[in-house]
Amino acid sequence: MLKIAIAQLNPTVGDIDGNSGAIIAAMQRAAGQGADLAVFTELALCGYYPGDLLEEAAFLDRMQAGLQRVLEASRGLPGLVSVVGAVRANDGPGKPLFNALLAIRDGVIVAEYYKQLLPTYGVFDDRRHFEPGPEGACVLQVGDHRIGFLICEDGWNHEGRDYKVNPFTALREARPDLVVSINASPSDIGKRELRHKLFRTASVHNELPILYVNQVGGQDQLVYDGASFAVSPSQGIAFEAQRFSEDFQGIGFTQGRFSAADGFALPAPGADGLPVAEFARRQIVLGLQDYARRCGFSKVVVGSSGGIDSALTLALAVDALGPENVIAVTMPSAFSSEGSVSDSVALCRNLGITLFTHPILDLVKQYGIGFEGAFDRPLQGLPLENLQARVRGTILMAYSNASGTLLLTTGNKSEISVGYCTLYGDTNGGLGLIGDLYKTEVYALSRHVNQRAGRELIPDAVLTKPPSAELAPGQQDTDSLPEYEVLDEILKWHIEGRRLPAAEAALAEQFVAGLLADANGAALVKRIHGMVARNEYKRRQAPPIIRVRSRAFGSGRQLPIAAHY
């Protein structure tokens, strides 16, 4: 039996010393458990994705030094084959680097495979820095088993639709006993199920068992969920590692089937994934934890308006960092309702966090006096509304600077889409937690947070009050926008379209088709599309948001600002 150690780690981009140390520790653990093969993830040595760090000579030098440490450690672990993702130089024509898989045994690289399919869609830009590897299979003998290799995207073209090259073709001809695929596959709604379906089909079609090892952790906007798995033609999905946490698992493989490390049957993984709300919670919590940690923050601050968006942001921040590391600030103005403050007080009491009060009435009034004196016109209407948001944003940034806390923005995807936010105001901050959740999903996740806690963390008054920016007398969101149940379906179809999960796409398409059948509905769809286009400049200047869906604002959606739509 081939004994395999699956090292589902959380590498940090650029931390070669830390990553190589974690790899060596896992190698030693694998050897101590008698493993024949230890499998790590794509670019595990430098973290995925390093971007233009790959153009810096010092970074590549550190990468090579880290690899040497791994090779040296391997000399003390006789017989163990460690499969590690790293960067290798390309001495031939094309881009100067390869995205490489290195099989290391007794301090020597005994097999070297280069990623053949380099994605440039969505959040990926591998072709910017890497040259595609040569066509053909790479197979290594490990004990009595022949092991073939893939790197992430190489396994996603088994039907041959997206690339001219299909690495499975060469593997099928080489007939290894097992295919090992190392990955850095970011998570979004439905991604786990998509991976299982695709690789189950590939396994059956090519008659090849596949071990899929994926990294875990948050990196900027992206979150990697781990969920490494094993699939064989006879067993289907035979094994799955933990989601949203590091994991080290030992499994066995013999005669085309996976087993527990002791040879007994593996527990069958659950066919169903997480409910959408729970998935979103875990995705956002892990994303914030790693973003704060990697950027050197231990505490966060949030402007608390008494509304649903800031309430959910605060609840998720407490979930991620603990109540002692979350600060809220309420900043009432002349137009703030009584509930703006009282609901914030109740929320923060429920969450166990500190709430500061910083009224802005006098500041806004003084701005108005200065504005009229300088420009001979009163400050009123939309400029006055936006000023209030900008004063609040300035106060929050001042507190962030003074206290060393990370300011979290509170905008949701519905409002960010149509520009229902103030540049240099409520868009201030270092990270947005709910910017990839539509407003209807904000409510759904808020209810889930309460249900999961078994008590009212987010007060019912916050959940039931009509949403409002409270920047003008009696203002409500529906003064400027359609009901969110309508707006969100239009936005889903316009922004994500076929990228939505099938059932969700069908509902959105049917809903929008109904609107387009009516003149008023068609005019509304056109107006919303125009609002999305006109506000690209705001999104370009906004902080990063944690990606939950397959198409989030940020690196995965690139549209021009100065364009005619």
Q: How far apart, in whole angstroms, are the C-alpha atoms of residue 94 and residue 329? A: 53
Structure tokens at 277: 């709300």
**β-strand pairing of 222-225 with 300-303:** unpaired
> b/e map of 162-189 (b: 16 or more CB within 10 Å)?
ebebbbbbbbbeeebbbbbbbbbbbbbb
Exposed, middle or buried, 461 (CB in 10 Å: 0-12/13-18/19+)? middle
Which amino acid, one-letter code, is at 456? E
Known binding residues for L-glutamine: 121, 185, 191
User: Is 69 within 8 Å of 23 (Cβ atoms)?
Assistant: no
Structure tokens at 470: 């409270």
- The active-site residue out of 138, 152, 348, 421 is 152
User: Is 252 within 8 Å of 292 (Cβ atoms)?
Assistant: no
User: Is 286 within 8 Å of 226 (Cβ atoms)?
Assistant: no
Structure tokens at 210: 């596949």
115 is catalytic: yes
> b/e map of 91-102 (b: 16 or more CB within 10 Å)?
eeeeeebbbbbb
User: Is 82 within 8 Å of 25 (Cβ atoms)?
Assistant: no
Known binding residues for ATP: 303-310, 410
Angle between helix 167-174 and helix 191-206 axes, rounded to 10 deg: 40
Length of the chain in residues, anyone?
Answer: 565
Nearest residue to 74 (alpha-carbon basis) of 28, 42, 11:
28
User: Is 24 within 8 Å of 74 (Cβ atoms)?
Assistant: no
Nearest residue to 282 (alpha-carbon basis) of 229, 196, 218:
218
Nearest residue to 324 (alpha-carbon basis) of 405, 425, 218, 411:
405
Q: How far apart, in whole angstroms, are the C-alpha atoms of residue 137 and residue 139? A: 6
Backbone angles phi, psi at 119, to 5 degrees: -70, 145
496 is catalytic: no
Q: How far apart, in whole angstroms, are the C-alpha atoms of residue 150 and residue 132? A: 13
- The active-site residue out of 3, 115, 413, 439 is 115
Known binding residues: 121, 185, 191, 303-310, 386, 410, 415, 538
User: Is 465 within 8 Å of 340 (Cβ atoms)?
Assistant: no
The end-to-end CA distance of the chain, in Å, is 61
Q: In what helix (H) or strand (E) does residue 514 lie, and over which residues does it extend?
A: helix 502-516
348 is catalytic: no
Exposed, middle or buried, 21 (CB in 10 Å: 0-12/13-18/19+)? middle
CB atoms closer than 10 angstroms to residue 347: 26
CA distances from 445 to 43, 60, 332, 437, 553 (A): 34, 42, 26, 9, 20
DSSP code for 322: -
- By annotation, the residues acting in catalysis are 42, 115, 152
